[in-house]
Amino acid sequence: MKHLAFLYGLFILAVIVLADLGRLDVVGWVSRIPLGDKVGHFILYGILTLLIDLALLRALRGLSPRLLVLRAALTLALIIGLEEVSQRFFSSRSFDLLDLMFSYLGVIVFSLAALYIKRPEGSTT
């Protein structure tokens, strides 16, 4: 799982670099779909969150799952926020608070999904 999380993280990093360079024309069709860009933020960062959370929950079994997921979510929120703000420095990009909100929503929803997936057997919570 950690290898998959790492590779997916590299994929997102490549998307960010290509977007910063103005070379992300391949996914231009997404912007023509109503809220396509927002859904993209939700899904991309949500999947990254899920993969990281599941890798952490598998590797660090002795620690509190909720605390692990919370720490991962806060770390990702900081990194995602910095990346969105950094877009102000690239002519091919633009800061969008709504993009950031959908990114954070993806982190929250997929963090909860990771906790649900990895809940102890017999637990109903």
CB atoms near residue 71 (< 10 Å): 13
Q: What's the pTM value of the predicted model, to 2 decimals?
A: 0.88
Amino acid 79: pLDDT: 97
Amino acid 19: pLDDT: 84
Split at pLDDT 50, 70, 90, the class of 20 is: confident
CB atoms near residue 81 (< 10 Å): 13
Amino acid 46: pLDDT: 97
Question: Per-residue pLDDT tens for 97-117?
Answer: 999 999 999 999 999 999 999
